[in-house]
Structure 1
Amino acid sequence: MVDLVIVGAGLVGLASAYRLLCVCPRLKIIVVEKEMQVGAHQSTHNSGVLHAGLYYRPNSYKARLAVKGLRLMVQFCAEYGIRYEQCGKVVVATTQGELPRLHELLERGYANGLRGIRLLSRDELKEIEPHVDGIAAIHVPEEGIVDYGQVCEKLAKLLVDQGAEVRLGARVYQMKKVSPGWIVLTTAGEFHTRCVICCGGLHADRLVLASGDRSPIKIVPFRGEYYRIRREKEYLVKNLIYPVPDSRFPFLGVHFTRLIGGGVEAGPNAVLALAREGYTWGNVNLKDLFDVATFGGFWRFVLRHPFMCCYEVYRSFSRSAFCRSLQRLVPEIQQDDLEPGGSGVRAQAMYPDGRLVEDFYFLERPGILHVLNAPSPAATASLAIGEEIAKKVLKQLD
């Protein structure tokens, strides 16, 4: 019997194992992952931004863990030679109607303890981002960029070096409560453990069902699609440029991101993915689609926001519509400057009444903990989330 089986070798699962071994080096831990690499999905299919915690309700998990997690992630990258850059971000108001929301975000930033944030006038904004058209902005100097794939690989190596096992190609299909502990059944064998931590990301709710429990939420996959800015026009974007987000949704709006490996990315939008790992419109999984189609919460969400849902689908197929969204921030961007980029799928938890789960969500049961909602800023916050999970699980192991 081992002490812990952690399901999912993304950033949150790996960071949880890492923080647990930092506190209790003698723990016997196995991390099981259905893919043949670590960090195969949400952990690496993102824009690689280090989020400072500007947007989140004060004292929420997201606010506390993003602020702490950013500093832990920067420290981790510096210690292990992972390239990162705290290049800063501007959140830009382009109309008078966005100013109240901009000031609200500034107050949230102060409440959440962000360092160095300040309100910029139009002229001050032009000094930082000369090609942005805005009437005011917030400057967030702590934000930055990193390659989260390298973070995943380093965490996995550190775990193995400390005696943990990372078992790839091991899909969990059932978890049985026994006395003592749990039996975790996978396609690579079964494991007897004192405690289980499920960090299943896009399949988080299904792992609850696999453990014999009922999930209070459903994972609805939203795909975010990106364009690359062609090299000749990369000069239009110095660092990170974001719009003032719509407070009704957890999505931050299409924005510009300079990448740590070079280049500039624009996006993402947010459309329903036709598979939980559906990175294109051609990726269709009938089981995943049936799950969404028979979930009343999804249709309540659509009926509540019909224009937004239709427009996001339209923008997915229309480069000109996507470009118009970007031109609100950088008017000089033209449709021909956009080249097809990558995509990512966000595991968005939703309640049966159609409300989106806005905060990180942990479901605790005797001997098992499920991370049910950990979208952005979970990559940035992963080491802090790992600390939070370690505290919860160590109480059960005592």
Structure 2
Amino acid sequence: MRAQPQRIAVVGGGIIGTAVARELAHRFDDATVTLFEKESTLAAHQTGHNSGVVHAGLYYEPGSLKARLCRTGVEKLIRYAVENGIPYDECGKLVVAQDTDEVDRLEAIFERAKANGVPHVQLLDRHRMREVEPNVRGVLALHSPHTAIIDYAALTQSLGRDLEAAGGVIRFDSEVARLDTLSSEVRVMLALPGAQGSKITEDGGTFDLAVTCAGLQSDRLAVASGLEEEPRIVPFYGDYFVAQGPAAEVVKGLIYPVPDPAYPFLGVHLTRGIDGSLMLGPNAFLSLGREKYERKIGPIGGIDLGDLGRTLGYKGFWKFASQNLRAAAREARTALSPQAFIAEAQKFVPTLDADAVSPGPRGVRAQAMNPDGTLVDDFVVTSRGRLTQVRNAPSPGATSSLAIAEHVVDTAVESLR
């Protein structure tokens, strides 16, 4: 094995990048770990725009990286939350079937959950499910009592403090334009503030090892750094609606629909927030910008012409679109009509007061896509020399973050051998 790295760079201050930087700082006591984040705070993008669910591992293919790292990640996350005083609520989850077709799929999920080692899952008939959620309606439900909620932004801030306590450095307002991989080092090139088009860069330093966790920009950073273009990122936004106070009390925990294999996205569900609110959503619709979170511009939000052009110019997107016309029609209804959005939630909780529901936040999902239009489902981590990249970390990425960090660091260290 080569000499231990003394200078390490991590790109991306979301929960996975921050967890990776922390893991590196703990793994290599004598090294200086520098975390580059283009915003002025951690968790500014996907990490800070989600429902805060800590997934138990119900759906994932047994033996997949997702399934293994989710279960390991949950255990690590619980311990970390308890030790660091981060609010964590095991409120439980029901996956609810509405008809006999969904019952068959729900029973298959139950078998998969048991294969993944999810503890204490069970199937509940319509009477027993109401003992868990008195206002829910359905014919059969899968109960996962240990599914939980947490504030992922607060968790990320805590991981950042750990990094700094271990001697690491966080460089905010530092957008990485590319990484130049040399035989014995990696040079980080930063985008100058205000640079447009082909980014004007400045030297951000040289490092013995670098890891990128760039989320919504992962494919662009890979191409700029001379690496593979695929898989591409196609952004999908997800809107939430929110109920506060007494209206939120109609749901005690989480209520989810049964996934339909004919659709690539789950559909509207109901989630209690760590703050006591009730969140409905998200839906999923093509985002016109990778980092466009505004809803005031119109129902589909703001536009980034560069992002939109890249999506529409990608043959994989058109293949995906042609294969998912029914899904697009379903999601368009909830994207364009708040009434249709709320009605999807009311299928599961008819007593939900629509008048007490108001528009909430929006998130944008970094969906990795292949040239044939298929979605990349599992975590993807690749290495070339001294540069390791997290190319895809979809849900349950946040849940699995501490376990993903260990896996990524193991992969990066192996590249040094």
TM over 0.5: yes
Q: Distance in 1 between matches of 2:264 and 2:416?
A: 35
Q: Match of 1:59, SS?
A: coil
CA contact (8 A) 2:383 2:412 kept: no
Name the CA distance, whole Å, in 2 between partners of 1:134 and 1:347: 32
Q: CA deviation at 1:119?
A: 0.8
**What is the aligned-residue RMSD (CA, Å)?**
1.4
Deviation at 1:250, TM superposition (A): 4.9
Q: Within 5 A, what are the aligned runs for 1:1-398?
A: 2-187=6-191, 189-280=203-294, 281-398=300-417
Amino acid at match of 1:384: A
Query: How far apart in 2 are the matches of 1:312 and 1:228?
Result: 18
- The AA in structure 1 aligned to 2:288 is L
Residue 400 of structure 2 aligns to a residue in which SS? helix
Letter in 2 for 1:231: G
For 2:263 and 2:210, locate their aligned partners in 1 and report how far apart those are by CA, in whole Å.
32
Please say which of residues 305-314 and 116-125 is displaced more in the overlay.
305-314
SS in 1 for 2:301: coil
Aligned residues: 398
Rate the CA distance shift 1:365–1:250 in 2: closer, same or farther, 3 A.
Answer: farther
Q: Which residue in the other structure is 2:197 paired with?
A: none
**4+ long deviations beyond 3 Å:** none
Deviation of 1:367 (Å)? 1.1
Q: What SS is found at the alignment partner of 2:105?
A: helix
Q: CA deviation at 1:388?
A: 0.3
Please say if residues 169 and 187 of structure 1, whose CA atoms lie closer than 8 Å, have aligned partners that are also in contact: no
Alignment-mate amino acid for residue 177 of structure 1: T
Give the match's secondary structure for 1:207: helix
Distance 1:374 1:250, change over 3 A: farther
More displaced stretch, 209-218 vs 55-64: 209-218
Aligned amino acid, residue 209 of structure 2: C
State the Cα distance separating 1:232 from its structure 2 match.
3.1
Distance (Å, rounded) in 1 between the aligned partners of 2:26 and 2:57: 25
SS of 1:397's equivalent in the other structure is coil
Question: In the TM superposition, what whole-angstrom CA distance separates every residue of 1:142-174 from its partner, at most 9, and x where no partner exists?
Answer: 110100111111111110110011111110112
Q: Is the 1:243–1:255 Cα contact (8 Å) retained in structure 2?
A: yes
Distance 2:98 2:331 in 1: 20
Which amino acid is the alignment partner of residue 230 of structure 2?
P
Structure 1: runs of 5 or more not aligned: none
Counterpart contact for 2:240–2:362, Cα < 8 Å:
yes
Q: Is the 8 A contact 2:247 2:353 kept in 1?
A: no
**What secondary structure does 1:257 align onto?**
strand
Secondary structure class of the residue paired with 1:384 = helix
Q: Is the 8 A contact 2:54 2:74 kept in 1?
A: yes
Relative to structure 2, which stretch is displaced further, 340-349 or 247-256?
A: 247-256
Point out where structure 2 has 5 or more consecutive residues left out of the alignment: 193-202, 295-299
1:2 to partner: Cα distance: 4.7
In 1, distance between residues paired with 2:395 and 2:265? Answer: 9
Retained in 2: the 8 A contact 1:44–1:149?
Answer: yes
Secondary structure at the counterpart of residue 22 of structure 1: helix
The answer as to whether partners of 2:15 and 2:401 remain within 8 angstroms in 1 is yes
- Secondary structure of 1:279's counterpart equals coil
Q: Contact conserved, 1:250 with 1:358, CA < 8 A, in 2?
A: no
Partners of 2:156 and 2:318 in 1: CA distance: 36
2:377–2:394 CA contact under 8 A, matched in 1: no
Matching residue's letter, 1:206: R
TM-score by length of 2: 0.93
Q: What do the CA deviations read for 1:157-206 (whole angstroms, capped 9, x no partner)?
A: 11011001111111011211223211111137421011211100000001
